[in-house]
Amino acid sequence: MNRHWNNNDDIINDMEDMETFNKITILSIRGQTQFNILPDKLTYLDCSYNQLSSLPTLPNTLTHLLCQHNQLLSLPDLPNTLIILNCEYNQLLNLPTLPNALKYLLCSHNQLSSLLTLPNTLTHLYCSNNQLSGLPTIPNTLTHLYCSDNQLSCLQTLPNTLTHLCCHNNQLSGLPTMPNTLTHLFCYNNQLSSLQTLPNTLTHLSCHNNQLSRLPTLPNILTHLFCYNNKLLSLPDLPNNLENLKISNNPFNLWSELIDTTKINVDLAEIIYEKLSIFDDRIRELQNELNKNTYDNYNEKMAQLKKDIQEVLNLKYTIIL
C-alpha cells in the first residue's frame, strides 16, 4: 500500500485506523515539521524537502530512506535492511552505525568531520562538501567515490572496482595508484605535483589548478582533458579521440621537449641553436595555439618539427616529445 501525506491532518486521520496504517509499505511525506510514528511494514520512506529536525524510530523492514534537504541534526538507528540512504543537505555532525546491507550512501552537504566503518556492500559513496580530514578504509565493492570539497590531505587505497573518482577541492599532494577500472578522474584544485600512471580505461581527466609540471602518458580513449593553470612545460601525445581540451595558463616550453640539450656538446651549442632559430616561428605558433586551448594536428606538427630539426642538424642526439 502506498500513501502520500501533505499535512498533519492527513497523519492524524490515518492514526484512527492503525491496522490500515500499518499496511503501508511506501510512504511520501511533504509539508511536515515533525512526525512521530511510521508503519510497521514500511520499506520505502521519502521525507525529503521538509523542515524536519528529527526522525522517529525506523521500522526494521526499511530498505530506502530519503531524508535529504531538511534540518536534521542526527539520524536514528538505521535498520539492517537499509540499502539506500540519502541524507544530503542537512546539518548532521555524525552518522549512526551503517547497516551491512547498505549499497548507496549519500551524505554530502552536511557538517561531518569523520565517517564510521563503511560496509563491504557499498558501491556508491557521496560525501562531498563536509569537513572530512580523512576517509575510512574503502570497501572493495565501491564503484563511485565523490569526496570533493573537504579537507582531505591523502586518500586510502582505491579498490579495483572504482570507475569514478571525484576528489577535487581538497588539500591532496598526491594520489594513490589508479585502479584499472577508472573512467573518470576529477582531481582539480588540489596541491598535486605529479600524477600516477593513468589506466587505459580513463575517458575524462580534470586536473587543472594544481602544480603539475608533466602529465603521464594519456590513454588512447581519453575524450576530455582539462589541465589548465598548472606548471606544464609540455604535453604528451594527445589521443586521437580527444574532444575537449583546456590547457591555457601553463608555461609551455616546447623547445625543451623537442631537443634533449643535455646530450649536445657544449662547444656546439651556439652553432646548433643558430641553425634551430629557423624553427622559432613554428614553435611560437604552436605554443600560442596551446595557450588558446586549440590543438589542431598537435601530434602531427610536433612529429614534423622533430623530423625537420633532425634533418637540419644531422646530429646523433635525442629529440623527444
- How large is the average pLDDT for residues 216-240? 92
Local confidence band at 230 (pLDDT 50, 70, 90 cut-offs): very high
**Model-wide pTM > 0.85:** no
The CATH number covering residue 5 comes to: 3.80.10.10
- Is 131 a member of any domain? no
Q: Note whether residue 216 is domain-resident.
A: no
In a domain, 6, yes or no: yes
Show the domain range for 86: 1-111
Q: What is the pLDDT of residue 256?
A: 55
Question: How far, in Å, CA of 225 to CA of 185, rounded?
Answer: 10
**pLDDT tens digits, one per residue of 267-302:** 444 445 555 666 667 777 777 777 767 667 777 777
Q: Is residue 192 part of a domain?
A: no
Q: Which of 95, 111, 127 represents a domain boundary (last residue)?
A: 111
Q: What is the pLDDT of residues 14-58, one digit of tens each?
A: 555 777 888 899 999 998 888 889 999 999 999 999 999 999 999
Q: Cite the beta strand spans of the chain per DSSP E.
A: 2-5, 26-29, 44-46, 64-66, 84-86, 104-106, 124-126, 144-146, 164-166, 184-186, 204-206, 224-226, 244-246
Q: Reduce the DSSP state of residue 156 to 3 states and report it.
A: coil
Residue 218 covered by a domain = no
pLDDT tens for each residue of 137-148: 999 999 999 999
Question: For residue 261, what pLDDT band results from cuts at 50, 70 and 90?
Answer: very low
CB atoms within 10 A of CB 260: 12
Task: Indicate whether 303 belongs to any domain.
Answer: yes
Type of residue at 8: N
In a domain, 123, yes or no: no
Place of cell 582533458: 225
At which of 60, 82, 111 does a domain end?
Answer: 111
pLDDT at 16: 55
Indicate the residue among 78, 111, 144 that finishes a domain. Answer: 111
Query: Cell 526522525 identifies what position?
Result: 55
- Indicate whether 296 belongs to any domain: yes
Task: Give the pLDDT score at 23.
Answer: 87
Question: How many domains, in total, are found in the chain?
Answer: 2
* Contact (Cβ atoms closer than 8 angstroms) between residue 29 and residue 50: yes
Helix (H, G, I), strand (E, B) or coil at 152: coil
